Structure 1
Amino acid sequence: MAELTQTSPSLCCCRKSLPVSGGRCVGDSTLPSAGPWPGAPPCPLVDVASASNFRCFQLRHFHLDLQLNFAAKEMTGWLVLDLVPVEPGISTLILDSHPSLLIHSIDCKIPGDEPEEPASLTYRVDPFTDYGSSLIISLPAGTVKPSRLIQITVRYTTTDGPAIWWLDSELTCGQSCPLVFTQGHSVCNRSFFPCFDTPAVKSTYTAAVRFSMEFPVPSYLVALVAGELQHVDIGPRSRVWAEPCLLSCAVKKLGGSVERWLGVAEDLFGEYLWGRCDIVFLPPSFPIVAMENPCLTFIIASILESSEFLLIDVIHEIAHGWFGNAVTNATWEEMWLSEGLATYAQRRITTEAYGEAFTCLETVVRLDALHRQLRLLGDSNPVSKLQVKFEPGVNPSTLMNLFTYEKGFCFVSYLSELSGDVRRFDSFLKDYISEFKFQSVVAQDLIAYFLRYFPELQDAAVPQREGLEFERWLSGCGPPPFEPDLSAGGALIGPVQELCDLWRSANPPDQQALATFDLSVWSTFQVVLFLDRMLDHSPLPHEVIASLSASYSSLFDSLNAEIQIRWLQMVVRNTFYPDLPRVRAFLHKHTSRMYTVPLYEDLVAGVMKCVAVEIFYQTQRRLHPNLRRTLQLILFPSSSAPTNQNSPIPPIVAGSSPSGSPLQAPATTATASAAGTTAAMALRDVNVSA
Structure 2
Amino acid sequence: MLHIHFGNNYVVAAAEESVSKEDWLGKTDPSSYSNPEDFLATQLHIKWEVDFENKILSGVLSYEFDIINKEATYLILDTRDIEINKIASNGKGLLYKLGEKNKIFGTPLKIEIPNESRNEKALTIEIEYKTDPNCSALAWMEPHQTSGNKPFLFSQNQPIHGRSMYPCQDTPSVKTAFTAEIIVPKELVALTSAVPSQDAPKEAGDKRVYKFEQKIPIPSYLMCIAVGDLQSKKIGSHSTIYAEQEIIEKAVADFSDVEQLIEIAEKLFGKYEWEVYNLLFLPRAYPMSGMEHPCISFFSQELITGNKGGIDVLAHELAHSWFGNLVTNRDWNHFWMNEGFTRFADRKILGRTYGEEYRQLESIFGWSVLKYEAENLRNEPELAKLVVDKVVDPDRCLNGIPYEKGSAFLYYLEQTVGGASVFEPFLREYIKKYRHQSIESHQFKEELISHFAPEILRNVDWEIWLHSPGMPPVTNNYSRTLLDPITKLVKRWKEWVPEDRTEVPFKKEDLDGLRNIQLKQFVQELFNVGDLGLEKLKKIEEIYGMHERTRNIADIRARWFQLCGKVRWLETVPLMFEYVNAEGRFGALKRVYRELYEWEEIREAAIKNFNENKKYKMFVTVKVISKVLRLEL
- What's the offset of the Cα at 1:108? 0.9
Q: Deviations over 1:33-74 (max 9, x none)?
A: 5999xxxxxxx9741100011111232201110111111111
Matched, 1:413 2:399: no
C-alpha contact 1:25 1:440 (8 A) present in aligned 2: yes
Q: Deviations over 1:492-521 (max 9, x none)?
A: 201111111111122238656424961122
Identity of aligned residues (%): 26
Is the alpha carbon distance of 1:471 and 1:562 closer, same or farther for their aligned partners in structure 2, counting shifts above 3 Å?
closer
2:49 aligned residue: 67
2:10 aligned residue: 24
Alignment of 1:538-687 (within 5 A): 540-553=532-545, 556-557=548-549, 560-577=553-570, 579=572, 582-583=575-576, 586=579, 590=583, 593=586, 598-606=591-599, 607-609=601-603, 612=606, 625=615, 627=617, 646-647=619-620, 649-651=622-624, 668=627
Matched, 1:400 2:398: yes
Matched, 1:497 2:501: no
1:221 aligned residue: 222
Equivalent of 1:90 in 67, 72, 75: 72
1:166 aligned residue: 140
Give 1:165's aligned amino acid: A
User: Quick one: distance in 1 between partners of 2:590 and 2:440?
Assistant: 35
1:261 aligned residue: 261
Equivalent of 2:168 in 195, 216, 224: 195
- What's the offset of the Cα at 1:554? 5.9
Q: Deviations over 1:472-507 (max 9, x none)?
A: 2211223122343311xx232011111111111222
Is the alpha carbon distance of 1:314 and 1:591 closer, same or farther for their aligned partners in structure 2, counting shifts above 3 Å?
closer
Give 1:494's aligned amino acid: D
Give 1:317's aligned amino acid: E
Q: How many pairs align?
A: 586
C-alpha contact 1:328 1:338 (8 A) present in aligned 2: yes
C-alpha contact 2:47 2:59 (8 A) present in aligned 1: yes
Equivalent of 1:532 in 510, 513, 524: 524
Q: Could you tell which deviates more after superposition, 179-188 or 548-557?
A: 548-557
Is the alpha carbon distance of 1:503 and 1:267 closer, same or farther for their aligned partners in structure 2, counting shifts above 3 Å?
same
- What's the offset of the Cα at 1:430? 0.7
Give 2:321's aligned amino acid: G
SS of residue in 2 equivalent to 1:213:
strand
Give 2:538's aligned amino acid: A
Equivalent of 2:151 in 175, 178, 181: 178
Q: TM-score with structure 1 length normalisation?
A: 0.79
C-alpha contact 2:45 2:61 (8 A) present in aligned 1: yes
Give 1:544's aligned amino acid: K
Matched, 1:390 2:390: yes
- What's the offset of the Cα at 1:172? 1.2
C-alpha contact 2:268 2:428 (8 A) present in aligned 1: yes
Is the alpha carbon distance of 1:554 and 1:496 closer, same or farther for their aligned partners in structure 2, counting shifts above 3 Å?
closer
Q: Deviations over 1:418-469 (max 9, x none)?
A: 3213122111111111111101111122122222221x2x2x172x42xx32
Over 6 Å off, 4+ runs: 613-617
C-alpha contact 1:78 1:154 (8 A) present in aligned 2: yes
1:478 aligned residue: 470
SS of residue in 1 equivalent to 2:115:
coil
Give 2:150's aligned amino acid: C
- What's the offset of the Cα at 1:129? 2.4
C-alpha contact 1:23 1:60 (8 A) present in aligned 2: no
C-alpha contact 2:540 2:546 (8 A) present in aligned 1: no
User: Quick one: distance in 2 between partners of 1:137 and 1:555?
Assistant: 57
C-alpha contact 1:26 1:445 (8 A) present in aligned 2: no
Q: TM-score with structure 2 length normalisation?
A: 0.86
Q: Deviations over 1:395-430 (max 9, x none)?
A: 211122211011111221122123213122111111
1:127 aligned residue: 100
Higher relative contact order structure (alpha carbons within 8 Å, sequence separation ≥ 6):
1
1:662 aligned residue: none
Alignment of 1:13-412 (within 5 A): 21=7, 24-27=10-13, 33=15, 46-98=28-80, 100-109=81-90, 118-131=91-104, 132-145=106-119, 148-159=121-132, 160-174=134-148, 176-209=149-182, 210-255=211-256, 257-305=257-305, 307=307, 309-378=309-378, 381-391=381-391, 394-412=392-410
SS of residue in 1 equivalent to 2:10:
coil
- What's the offset of the Cα at 1:214? 0.5
- What's the offset of the Cα at 1:529? 1.2
C-alpha contact 1:593 1:627 (8 A) present in aligned 2: no
User: Quick one: distance in 2 between partners of 1:584 and 1:400?
Assistant: 24
C-alpha contact 2:37 2:69 (8 A) present in aligned 1: no
1:514 aligned residue: 506
Q: Deviations over 1:617-641 (max 9, x none)?
A: 9xx5xx561539xxxxxxxxxxxxx
Q: Deviations over 1:361-413 (max 9, x none)?
A: 2221221021122234339922221110223xx32111222110111112211
User: Quick one: distance in 1 between partners of 2:216 and 2:573?
Assistant: 51
User: Quick one: distance in 2 between partners of 1:125 and 1:486?
Assistant: 53
Is the alpha carbon distance of 1:520 and 1:511 closer, same or farther for their aligned partners in structure 2, counting shifts above 3 Å?
farther
C-alpha contact 1:67 1:77 (8 A) present in aligned 2: yes
User: Quick one: distance in 2 between partners of 1:312 and 1:577?
Assistant: 33
C-alpha contact 2:137 2:161 (8 A) present in aligned 1: yes
User: Quick one: distance in 2 between partners of 1:353 and 1:139?
Assistant: 54
- What are the ranges of 5 or more consecutive residues in structure 2 without an aligned counterpart? 19-25, 183-210
User: Quick one: distance in 1 between partners of 2:379 and 2:610?
Assistant: 36
Give 2:82's aligned amino acid: L
- What's the offset of the Cα at 1:141? 1.9
C-alpha contact 2:28 2:35 (8 A) present in aligned 1: no
User: Quick one: distance in 2 between partners of 1:382 and 1:239?
Assistant: 41
- What's the offset of the Cα at 1:346? 0.7
- What's the offset of the Cα at 1:171? 1.1
Q: Deviations over 1:263-285 (max 9, x none)?
A: 00000110001110001000011
SS of residue in 1 equivalent to 2:545:
helix
1:442 aligned residue: 440
Q: Deviations over 1:60-119 (max 9, x none)?
A: 201110111111111121111101211222211111111x2100010112xxxxxxxx21
- What's the offset of the Cα at 1:308? 5.5
Is the alpha carbon distance of 1:569 and 1:122 closer, same or farther for their aligned partners in structure 2, counting shifts above 3 Å?
same
User: Quick one: distance in 1 between partners of 2:55 and 2:163?
Assistant: 17
- What's the offset of the Cα at 1:136? 0.3
Q: Could you tell which deviates more after superposition, 58-67 or 180-189?
A: 58-67
User: Quick one: distance in 2 between partners of 1:215 and 1:247?
Assistant: 29
User: Quick one: distance in 2 between partners of 1:361 and 1:120?
Assistant: 60
- What's the offset of the Cα at 1:213? 0.6
C-alpha contact 1:237 1:278 (8 A) present in aligned 2: yes
- What are the ranges of 5 or more consecutive residues in structure 1 without an aligned counterpart? 1-18, 37-43, 110-117, 629-645, 652-665, 670-679, 683-690
C-alpha contact 1:22 1:60 (8 A) present in aligned 2: no
C-alpha contact 2:147 2:244 (8 A) present in aligned 1: yes
Is the alpha carbon distance of 1:48 and 1:648 closer, same or farther for their aligned partners in structure 2, counting shifts above 3 Å?
farther
C-alpha contact 2:361 2:483 (8 A) present in aligned 1: yes
C-alpha contact 1:380 1:478 (8 A) present in aligned 2: no
- Give me the CA root mean square deviation: 2.9
